Structure 1
């Protein structure tokens, strides 16, 4: 008998690997024959995972909602609108009955930057339908979101080659 429990995963912290963890879970889920929705906030699609997810054809639906440029500054009206549209699309995916796994990559940062409210994310978590796994990634996860989640993993940076001047590399960090 299949296990249709729904759980909420949060991958947060300053260490590397949050998106990678969500992608690994998406690949595992697709490999088990399920459909996956992978929405990315604050990213423009110019990342290697975009190409990788296309290899899964219709098994993994991937969308991006962002320009990727304001992270160190203030969001524009366009950034806010893109994030809100992304959240609308994530909610639509959650309630569509089509996906076993819905990932909202970098949504924690979108909440931290005020593009989406933590209350809206909490409401989505509370109303999660049976059989839908929800993954929320990004630094700065809101305390109340972490408290309400079923699984929280904090990536902690111990050592990173960025500090040695090695920039993000295609296929590794981007």
Structure 2
């Protein structure tokens, strides 16, 4: 590690542009995409903003740590799926659940009722061909001016990255799972 001096001058100028809803993408093979999106959702909720989270791969009855805290603070999370594809008994049913879920998410985005809409793990139904990418792009373009949308998942389509305002790629450097350590409650669920 190299030691460096802390900055003595502000390293940036304050932007002069307009405040408006942002499209935020968390993608990549590393851990933290959904975690970052939930941090954003809790931050907005803490500021008294209306937030809605749609989880495209989680079942509606999921009770992970984020669901338990969300219940405590009144953050609505809607599971739209039936689990990851390798757990599915019927992939056409999984695809239909994604399409039905997208209709709900699209309605929430376009309604203007929410400051932030999180589309957690939405890249999977997109890359599996279950959702039409153009409809997602059109919805993002047509959303009310002040609505923020955060999309998460691996292998985000380039077309979404191109229209996003902020894109963060979580890079896998090392993961406990690779060393044979199973998921830890409170860390990964």
Give the TM-score of the pair, scaled to structure 2: 0.85
Instruction: Work out whether residues 4 and 130 of structure 1, in 8 Å CA contact, stay in contact via their aligned partners in 2.
Output: no
2:71 is aligned with 1:54: yes
How is 1:7-46 mapped onto 2 (pairs within 5 angstroms)?
7-44=22-59, 45-46=62-63
The whole-number CA distance in structure 2 between the counterparts of 1:50 and 1:78 is: 24
2:170 is aligned with 1:155: yes
What are the Cα deviations for residues 132-160 of structure 1, in whole angstroms up to 9, with x where unaligned?
Answer: 00000000100111011111100000111
Q: Shift of the alpha carbon at 1:96?
A: 2.0
How is 1:17-166 mapped onto 2 (pairs within 5 angstroms)?
17-44=32-59, 45-57=62-74, 60-71=75-86, 76-166=91-181
How many residue pairs end up in the alignment? 170
Larger Rg: 2
What's the C-alpha RMSD, in Å, of the aligned pairs? Answer: 1.7
Give the TM-score of the pair, scaled to structure 1: 0.92
Gaps of 5+ in 1: none
The whole-number CA distance in structure 2 between the counterparts of 1:69 and 1:38 is: 18
Task: Say if 1:56 and 1:23 are closer, same or farther in 2 by CA, change over 3 A.
Answer: same
The list of structure 1 runs, each at least 4 consecutive aligned residues, that deviate by more than 3 angstroms after superposition, is: 71-75
Gaps of 5+ in 2: 1-17
